[in-house]
Amino acid sequence: MTVKTQAKQNNNKNKNKKNMKADAKTAKPKLKSPIVPHQNKNKLVARSKKTWNDMSHLFLKRFADNDATLTAGAKRDRLKHPHLVVAEYDPSGRSKCKLCGNKIAKKDLRFTLFLECHKGYRNACTLHQDCFWKHPETAKLEYHDHESSYSNHNNHNNNNNNTSTRGEIHMAASLSQESRAWIAKTFQDRNTSKKNNNSKPP
């Protein structure tokens, strides 16, 4: 092999290296998989199918609304879901009670607790009306807010819009007066029971 031939081959190799580097810079980056490699796909549970066992790390009223540690995203999420509890009739019959695991029948009274994660984001926890009182996080609701508000509910609700917020529970416009009265009485009974338990000597 002559010196000229060898020099020509070296020049070609250098050109190929430069072309490969240029292609690498212009190439589109590979999309990362949304699933962490060590996670098992079969163990990933859809958010709508989670039960209380999957949501036990979530708590009611973990952060105050003016907490300085909340991120901008968490604050937007809290504006999107401003109420801790929403009472309404199930519109579709497809929602699942996160406590007992059974479906909530269409047009049945349904409660939705908005539980907070460690970052302040709120997660919907749908419950049957009976399971609502068995959920451990309902004990944190401030029942004294409801007693005075519910007692004069019919007197204060004279406008055409039947949507109302009493204490920490938001009642949808579609709720009948019977459902509203039942919710009011149940909260008052719970409040009375709580007061009696607190007044007992240790």
Where does residue 31 rank: exposed (0-12), middle (13-18), buried (19+ CB within 10 A)? exposed
Crossing angle, helix 177-199 and helix 143-151, to 10 degrees?
130
Mean pLDDT over 20-40 rounds to 54
Buried b (16+ CB within 10 A) or exposed e, 82-116: eebbbbbbbeeeebbbbbeeebbeeeebbbbbbbb
Mean pLDDT over 136-145 rounds to 71
pLDDT at 169: 81
pLDDT at 108: 94
Q: Is the pLDDT of residue 43 over 50?
A: no
Mean pLDDT over 63-80 rounds to 91
As given in the structure block, the two tokens for residue 140 are 């944190």
Candidate from 20-24, 33-37, 72-76, 190-194 with smallest mean pLDDT: 33-37
Measured CA angle at 49 (ends 44, 52), to 5 deg: 95
**Count of alpha carbons within 13 Å of 151, Cβ hemisphere only?**
8
| Domain regions of the chain by residue span | 54-128, 141-197
Does CATH place domain 54-128 in 3.30.1740?
yes
Give the residue carrying structure tokens 């991120």: 71
Where does residue 56 rank: exposed (0-12), middle (13-18), buried (19+ CB within 10 A)? exposed
Mean pLDDT over 179-199 rounds to 77
As given in the structure block, the two tokens for residue 67 are 């907490």
Where does residue 202 rank: exposed (0-12), middle (13-18), buried (19+ CB within 10 A)? exposed
For 93-116, how does the pLDDT look when each residue is reduced to its tens digit (9 = 90+)? 999 999 999 999 999 999 999 999
Kindly report the pTM of this predicted structure: 0.60
Q: Is the pLDDT of residue 73 over 90?
A: yes
Buried b (16+ CB within 10 A) or exposed e, 133-170: eebebbeebebeebbebbeebeeeeeeeeeebebbbbb
67 neighbors 121 (Cβ within 8 angstroms):
no
